[in-house]
Amino acid sequence: MQVILLCAGYATRLYPLTQNQPKPLLPIGSRPILECILDRVKPVAGVDRILIVTNHQFAGHFEKWRANVKYPWPIEVVDDLTTSNDNRRGAIGDIVYTLKTKQVSNEDLLVIAGDNLFDFDLSHFIEFSEKKRPNPVIAVYDVKNLDLAKQYGIVKINAASRVEQFLEKPQVPPSTLASSGIYWLPKETNALLDQYLREGHNPDQPGHYMRWLAETQSLFAFPLEGIWYDIGDLTSYQKANTHFAGAVSAIKK
Query: Looking at the domain assignment, is residue 225 inside a domain?
Result: no
pLDDT reading at 13 higher than 60: yes
Query: Looking at the domain assignment, is residue 28 inside a domain?
Result: yes
| Domain ranges, residue 26 | 2-119+230-252
Number of helical (H) and strand (E) elements in the chain, helices listed first:
9, 13
CA 211 to chain centre: 15
Query: Looking at the domain assignment, is residue 24 inside a domain?
Result: yes
Query: Looking at the domain assignment, is residue 31 inside a domain?
Result: yes
Query: Looking at the domain assignment, is residue 106 inside a domain?
Result: yes
pLDDT reading at 24 higher than 90: yes
Predicted local confidence at residue 84, as pLDDT:
86
Query: Looking at the domain assignment, is residue 34 inside a domain?
Result: yes
Mean pLDDT along residues 242-251? 59
Query: Looking at the domain assignment, is residue 63 inside a domain?
Result: yes
Mean pLDDT along residues 146-156? 94
Mean pLDDT along residues 98-126? 93
CATH for 100: 3.90.550.10
Q: Where are the alpha helices (DSSP H) in the chain?
A: 33-41, 59-66, 91-101, 122-131, 146-149, 190-198, 206-216, 234-245, 248-252
pTM: 0.93
Query: Looking at the domain assignment, is residue 193 inside a domain?
Result: no
- Distance CA(240)–CA(198), nearest Å, equals 38
| CA-wise closest residue to 189 among 141, 132, 140 | 132
Over residues 76-109, the pLDDT tens digits come to: 999 999 998 888 899 999 999 999 999 998 899 9
Q: How many structural domains is the chain composed of? A: 1
